[in-house]
Structure 1
């Protein structure tokens, strides 16, 4: 009986060893390293014109945005890595290529300023706009802050506050806004 038990234990050990030593060479999980974003640009074009103002946020400074009252604008946002001025990387291209994994959320304290996704905005696989291109409307004179969040892997793309979207914030930037 002891011989049978030893052989059984030996067989179980060998089976366990061989089963755990498979030659499964499946690809390792791809880790999406967070990009370095040093600059965010908002290109703001008044509807019906070709007049474009570019407002820039960098790690060192930010521009203030000035808009006319009762006017509509197109805002196009860009994300750049300018840490090496001789090799500027446009992160926006990656955001567009990975539209299912990204979303731009705007938090706005200017009561007289609202937006919708523009007709030419990038959409994800579910046909949800990711807000790279948005149309903004101003009302009467007002001031406040416009915050833009680039969200990586949001759990949803609907909500009213940053917390509603889940995921990770790749970058958050703020602009002071005056509507006059």
Structure 2
């Protein structure tokens, strides 16, 4: 588990909802890529932020991996039935939205066509996995969220900052990759 996760305040409670996000790997050229989404600007907790596709669990979901697949299909238009589940990262409590989030790792053996849901996705960034391993990608920046301006570590990809829970997930993923190389 990334040390940054230890600084997260708050704990799940009786009103906490479960959620799942999909970290989808796919080949493109000579590299492995993953899609990140830019959430539209809105007054909610995660407006304008970079994220993995995903969302809250629904009663119709058979499990949290199904949640991640369903949400990714809804948000970015991938064909969920083509995704091979590889496993999960560490579940993460996201205090501002009171969600217990399960990052799910998946692989699809082709570059998918993306069809973003305009209500939930302002842009899709296709990011080479190798980009997160470059030291210059890891930076500290000032961000604004919920009327507060603060400094936070994150990953700079395609001129966007990936921070907060998404950055913690990426950091854990990169630790795992370093451990198997």
TM-score range normalised by the length of the shorter chain: under 0.3
TM-score by length of 1: 0.23
More helix by share: 2
